[in-house]
Amino acid sequence: MASELVIKNLHASIEGKPILRGVDLVVRQGEVHALMGPNGSGKSTLANVIMGNPKYEVTDGEIWFKGENILEYSPDRRARMGLFLAFQYPMAIPGVSVANFLRRALEAVREGPRPVGEENPSGRPAPRKTIPPSEFRNLLREKMKLLKVDNSFINRSINDGFSGGEKKRAEILQMALLEPEIAMMDETDSGLDIDALKIVSDSVNALRGPKLGLLVITHYQRILNYIVPDFVHVMFDGRIVRSGGKELALELEEKGYEWLRPEGSEVAVND
């Protein structure tokens, strides 16, 4: 059975300020959903809340993944279950090489949803199953080739001194490596020139298939010319106000967002 991510009536706020005001959404493995909407409508917040960013407080609603309510799960547990978020602003972590980090991440994700040592009251965690460096390297090189990422990349610190485009490509590289079941791409297209956009889109398309469900968050219709969605949702003021097929994206391109603004909604501020 295909894995499902089910969002029910999700409300979330940051520092007491409500951002999500009742989101309902279902993303299944094998489907590609586009989530569009103006700045500040809550798109990034939704992705962050699904991934478990502690900055946001969920005030109501549920998030179900693979039949479990994951609301109380830590971000790492969600990742181990097969969720992935390609960040809009990937964090730089100086001093930690991409290669080391990705190897650890791959080991963790392959280990599955049970965090290390959870079922071990003695507090003595089981030895981690390691991936031999040679195997890991080959795997990484293969994915790097796909994304046309320079070889020197693996030796650099995570996102440290990366250009905007490099960071976005690195995120997709991680997605390709970790093979999630449901992945969210948070404005991966912003900051990419047309060549980079093409490379990223080609790699994402190469990953498409029955095993991957995608939620592509974007302002612009542009990336959807390359990654053609099965469903398009429009978010406004913390709610999904319209859902449709891929033609909805084209309609938005033509008409803008304003015609979808719900009555009584305030002009959005940046989130």
List residues near other proteins by CB under 8 A: 51-55, 74-76, 78-80, 84-85, 87, 90-91, 93-97, 99-101, 103-105, 108-109, 111, 115-117, 125, 127-128, 130, 133, 152, 154-157, 160-161, 174, 178
CA distance 85 to 212: 13
Q: How far is the CB of 269 from other proteins (least distance, A)?
A: 21
CA distance 158 to 173: 12
Q: How far is the CB of 72 from other proteins (least distance, A)?
A: 14
Question: Tokens 């293969």 belong to which residue?
Answer: 142
Q: How far is the CB of 81 from other proteins (least distance, A)?
A: 10
* Shorter beta-carbon distance to other proteins: residue 17 or 124: 124
Work out the angle at residue 63's Cα, subtended by the Cα atoms of residues 59 and 68, and round it to the nearest 5 degrees: 130
Q: How far is the CB of 250 from other proteins (least distance, A)?
A: 32
Kindly give the residue spans of alpha helices, DSSP state H, lying in 93-193.
98-111, 133-146, 164-178
Q: Is the distance from CB of 192 to CB of 162 less than 8 angstroms?
A: no
Q: How far is the CB of 87 from other proteins (least distance, A)?
A: 7
Q: How far is the CB of 178 from other proteins (least distance, A)?
A: 7
For residue 22, count CB atoms less than 10 angstroms from its CB and return exposed for 0-12, middle for 13-18, buried for 19 or more.
middle
Question: Tokens 């250009």 belong to which residue?
Answer: 163
Of 191, 184, 137, 152, nearest to 169 (Cα)?
Answer: 191
* Shorter beta-carbon distance to other proteins: residue 128 or 145: 128
* Shorter beta-carbon distance to other proteins: residue 170 or 249: 170
CA distance 43 to 47: 7
* Shorter beta-carbon distance to other proteins: residue 97 or 265: 97
* Shorter beta-carbon distance to other proteins: residue 55 or 145: 55
* Shorter beta-carbon distance to other proteins: residue 21 or 103: 103
CA distance 83 to 180: 6
Q: How far is the CB of 97 from other proteins (least distance, A)?
A: 6
* Shorter beta-carbon distance to other proteins: residue 166 or 237: 166
Question: Tokens 């489907």 belong to which residue?
Answer: 31
* Shorter beta-carbon distance to other proteins: residue 116 or 146: 116
CA distance 65 to 60: 17
Q: How far is the CB of 53 from other proteins (least distance, A)?
A: 5
Structure tokens at 260: 């979808």
Structure tokens at 24: 């309902």
**Amino acid in position 42:** G
